[in-house]
Amino acid sequence: MPYGFLEHLENKGYSQDTIQSYEKVIKSFFGYLSYVYKKDVDLIEISPADIKKYLKEQLNRKKSIPTINKELSILKTFFNYLWEKNLIAIDPAVKIKAMNQIKQPTVEYDYIELKKVLPQVLRNPNYTLERKSIYSLALKGFKTADYRFRKDDVNFIDNYRVKIALRNREIILDGEEAVIFRQYYKSLISEETEYVFRTKKIKNGGGGPVQVMTILYHLRKISKDYFPDHDKPLNLMLIRKAYLINLYQQKRPLQEIAKILGVNDFSVSCYLKRLNIR
C-alpha cells in the first residue's frame, strides 16, 4: 500500500477485512489511472475528474450503487490521509458526493410460518442437533456474529430453560428447543473448542468460531425441506426481517423491539419506515 496508508489503517485499529478491502480499491483505482494515462500517475496529477471517471467505469461494470459509494468512501479516506500528510496540496475527493439509491426492502417470509415449522424441524430424524439448534436461534433473530458465543456464555436454568448471554442481549430458549440445545451442548463436552458453534475441519485444525457459510448451508437445507415454494432460500437476514415485522405487528414498543434484536431504536425505526409500514 503506497505512502504508509496501510500502516496508518492498522494503527487506527481497523480490522484486516477492512484493510484488505481498502487495499483492493486503491490498487484498482491506480490500475485504472495507469491504464487510462498509459503511465504511472503522480499523486499531484490526480483530479476530481479522474475519480468521477473511475466511479463511472465501476457503474458501467454493473457494480451496485452501494458498492460504488463504498469505493468512493475508501478513496476519500485515502486522499484525506495524503492531504493530512502534506503529500497533496488539494484533496481531489473531498467535494465528490455519494450516489443516491432508493430501494425498497422486501419481506419474503412470514415469521408465523417460520415458527410453525419449528416443531417439525426439531423432530426431524434426519437433522443433526446442530442444525436444529441453529434454526431455533435463527428464530430468535440471531445474526452470524451472535452464533459465536462461548460455552461459558450458556446457563442452563433448569431442564427446560436455557439462557445464552450474547454481547448485547440475552436469549432464552425454553421447552423442546431448550431440550434439543442441551443435548447438542452435551455432545460438545469431549471437544476442546470454547465455542458452542464451531468449525469442524479446516486446514488449521478446526475448533474456531462457526463460519457464516455453515449456518447458511443448514438454513438452506431447511428451506429446501419446508419452504420449497419460496424463490429465495432462508437466510439470517430474511428471518430477522420477518421477526422484526412480527414484533411490530404485535404492537411492541420500538425500544423493546430494538432490545430483542440487539440494535438501537433508530435502526428499527428507519427500517420500518423503509418498509412503508410505519
List contacts with DNA (CB under 7 A).
Answer: 12-15, 17-18, 21, 24, 62-64, 66-67, 69-70, 72-74, 76-77, 97-98, 100, 103, 105, 128, 143-146, 199-203, 206, 210-218, 221, 232-233, 235-238, 240, 261-264, 266-267, 270-271
Pick between residue 53 and residue 224 the one whose CB is nearest to DNA. 224
CB-based contacts of 120, cutoff 8 Å, min separation 6: 226
- The distance of closest approach from Cβ of residue 24 to DNA in the complex, given in angstroms and rounded to an integer, is 6
CB-based contacts of 27, cutoff 8 Å, min separation 6: none
Pick between residue 133 and residue 144 the one whose CB is nearest to DNA. 144
Cα separation, 250 vs 228, in Å, equals 28
- The distance of closest approach from Cβ of residue 139 to DNA in the complex, given in angstroms and rounded to an integer, is 14
Cα separation, 200 vs 192, in Å, equals 11
- The distance of closest approach from Cβ of residue 161 to DNA in the complex, given in angstroms and rounded to an integer, is 25
Cα separation, 192 vs 137, in Å, equals 23
Q: Check if the beta carbon of residue 70 is closer than 8 Å to that of residue 18.
A: no
Pick between residue 156 and residue 264 the one whose CB is nearest to DNA. 264
- All cell numbers assigned to 79: 486522499
Pick between residue 176 and residue 225 the one whose CB is nearest to DNA. 225
Q: Check if the beta carbon of residue 227 is closer than 8 Å to that of residue 245.
A: no
- The distance of closest approach from Cβ of residue 40 to DNA in the complex, given in angstroms and rounded to an integer, is 23
CB-based contacts of 147, cutoff 8 Å, min separation 6: 134, 137, 196, 197, 209, 210, 215
- The distance of closest approach from Cβ of residue 172 to DNA in the complex, given in angstroms and rounded to an integer, is 20
Pick between residue 160 and residue 194 the one whose CB is nearest to DNA. 194
165 DSSP β-pair partners: 170
Pick between residue 51 and residue 261 the one whose CB is nearest to DNA. 261
- The distance of closest approach from Cβ of residue 45 to DNA in the complex, given in angstroms and rounded to an integer, is 23
Residue 84 CA to its chain's centroid (Å): 32
